[in-house]
Structure 1
Amino acid sequence: MKKTFITLLILTASVTGGNAQKKKGTNTKKTNNMEISNKEKVTALLKSIETGAAEPAGYINPNKYIQHNLGAADGLAGFGALLQALPPNSAKVNTVRVFEDGNFVFAHTDYNFFGPKIGFDIFRFEDGKIVEHWDNLQETAKPNPSGHTMTDGPAEVKNAESTNANKALVEAFVNDILVNGKMEKLAGYFDGDNYIQHNPQIADQLSGLGKALQYLASQGITMKYDKIHKVLGEGNFVLTVSEGSFGGLYTSFYDLFRVENGKIAEHWDVIETIAGKESWKNNNGKFNFAK
């Protein structure tokens, strides 16, 4: 059954890949007179990992699919091979949030993918087809000290007109606090002590973040952000992709922030240790983003 699905996935994408819309910059495709948004395409593609539906593979351009998950070989064949390695009927996919920023769609998903995991996926579109993919995955953890899971909380996009301002605010926060350690600026990014936290190890409120950082320092555990590689946003939600280290290990940080009234109000994250280059199945890199 799985082999049939993988075959259908590759064949479907090969047949439909050449039928991309001619119009540049479009983010929808007409099927039976209905508009399918890029967000809907991403949600359907991710769900097909669970259901085995082959049709969503047609949303991928098979001739130009660049893979940045370092555990998958490049191209559509690499994606198919990764799915084929899954234990039968094990995959579960629940996409909790999905956002769009220009040619990029980014999703926040609760997976069972070689075990329970929480993931962020980023897809780049050209002419209505997916041409590139990045992700970050972390084993699902128990609720944090404040009772929040890694995915619960609001998902509705608000204040679309504030997207650019919110992206600038979050980028400045990550650069000031996490990259450059300017802790004297920390309070200015928050509304007093009000702050909802979904990191599994950290409690709510700004004071909860401070206590967690102090504990890490007392245990000699360092968390260092070296560089932001991408900032994506839609309305009140902003995702940053950063490179750094955690506990001395080379690490990829994906952080999702919700902004409210010009202040950071809520945070979700996925932290993934980056495997050694000798184990990579493609050479596209974890952080190479098209502009």
Structure 2
Amino acid sequence: MNAQETVTALLAELTGSHDPARIAGLVGADYVEHLDERTAQTSAPGDFPSGTRYEVVRVIVDDDMVLTHALLSSPGQPNSVGVDLWKVADDRIVERWSSRTPEVATTASGRSQLDGATVPDDTADSGTSRKIVSDWTKAVLLGGDFSAVPRFLSEKSYAQHNPEVADGIDGFTAATARLRSAGLSFDYHSIDITIAEGDFVFTRGVGNLGQKVVFNDIWRIDGGKIVEHWDVVSPVQAD
């Protein structure tokens, strides 16, 4: 199996029969998971209770890393939007980074948290896409140079899926200004993981949004600019 097939097989077990032997055959002996910033070594993913539905909307594959962006539902629980980054070695899942955020009905842009482009354009160069996002995060998200925003976000079409942010450069700048006027910081402290496939790039890092959070961002590139953005921002729970 390739990396994506391994992830698909494990998700089928976690949301289906929950067969311990089959799950054990798909998870490495030293499996480690990172739920937001809580890290634990365990025998298998532990946050898929019986009856969980995990509807994958988009997938990004970069060598041995597989990102799934999905809608989750469990009996008696509100729906959530999740990202899971799976690391695969020798046909087994050996590590996972996971975050969840509530699904919301109304957003600033009128878009949902999950709609939009779903399949990476593999005619696009992954390295170029990765470089654009890397430069964006260094200049703006980490560097705080908001005058550089028009260099990276498309002035023609920037589709936003964060529930609190409207489309376009104006939507992005208005949202950051609104946070600051409310006395809340918008700080990325680090970008710890970046993967890319075609025109899609995923980044994961930590920062502050009024409290310590994990930032999970998916960026889509077209014409040398960022044209679409999805995210899952989850608070870091105190131990």
TM-score by length of 2: 0.90
Paired residue for 1:239, among 189, 196, 202? 202
Q: Secondary structure at the match of 1:211?
A: helix
- Quickly say closer, same or farther: Cα 1:112–1:156, change in 2 above 3 A: same
| Aligned pairs (5 A) from 1:57-136 | 57-61=24-28, 63-69=29-35, 73-76=40-43, 79-80=45-46, 82-83=47-48, 86=49, 89=51, 91-113=52-74, 114-136=77-99
Offset at residue 126 of structure 1 (A): 1.2
Structure 2's unaligned 5+ residue stretches are: none
Larger strand fraction of residues: 2
Counterparts of 1:118 and 1:153 in 2: how far apart (Å)? 14
Structure 1's unaligned 5+ residue stretches are: 1-28, 30-36, 279-291
Conserved 8 A contact 1:47-1:94: no
Query: In structure 2, what is the equivalent of residue 252 of structure 1?
Result: 214
Counterparts of 2:232 and 2:16 in 1: how far apart (Å)? 25
Q: Secondary structure at the match of 2:141?
A: helix
Query: In structure 1, what is the equivalent of residue 13 of structure 2?
Result: 48
Offset at residue 66 of structure 1 (A): 1.2
Larger helix fraction of residues: 1
Offset at residue 184 of structure 1 (A): 1.5
Counterparts of 1:212 and 1:251 in 2: how far apart (Å)? 17
Query: In structure 1, what is the equivalent of residue 164 of structure 2?
Result: 201
Counterparts of 1:223 and 1:183 in 2: how far apart (Å)? 12
Conserved 8 A contact 2:59-2:119: no
Counterparts of 1:182 and 1:68 in 2: how far apart (Å)? 30
Counterparts of 2:184 and 2:17 in 1: how far apart (Å)? 42
Conserved 8 A contact 1:94-1:110: yes
Paired residue for 1:190, among 132, 153, 169? 153
Conserved 8 A contact 2:32-2:40: no
Query: In structure 2, what is the equivalent of residue 34 of structure 1?
Result: none
Give, as a single letter, the amino acid of the residue that structure 2 aligns with 1:104. M
Structure of larger gyration radius? 1
Paired residue for 1:263, among 215, 222, 225? 225
Counterparts of 2:147 and 2:73 in 1: how far apart (Å)? 40
Give, as a single letter, the amino acid of the residue that structure 2 aligns with 1:46. L
Residue 103 (structure 2) pairs with residue 140 (structure 1): yes
Give, as a single letter, the amino acid of the residue that structure 2 aligns with 1:44. A
Query: In structure 2, what is the equivalent of residue 158 of structure 1?
Result: 121
RMSD of aligned Cα (Å): 1.9
Offset at residue 74 of structure 1 (A): 2.1
Counterparts of 1:110 and 1:181 in 2: how far apart (Å)? 32
The number of equivalent residue pairs is: 234
The 4+ residue runs of structure 1 with deviation greater than 4 A are 70-73
Conserved 8 A contact 1:45-1:57: no
Q: Which moved more, 1:207-216 or 1:196-205?
A: 207-216
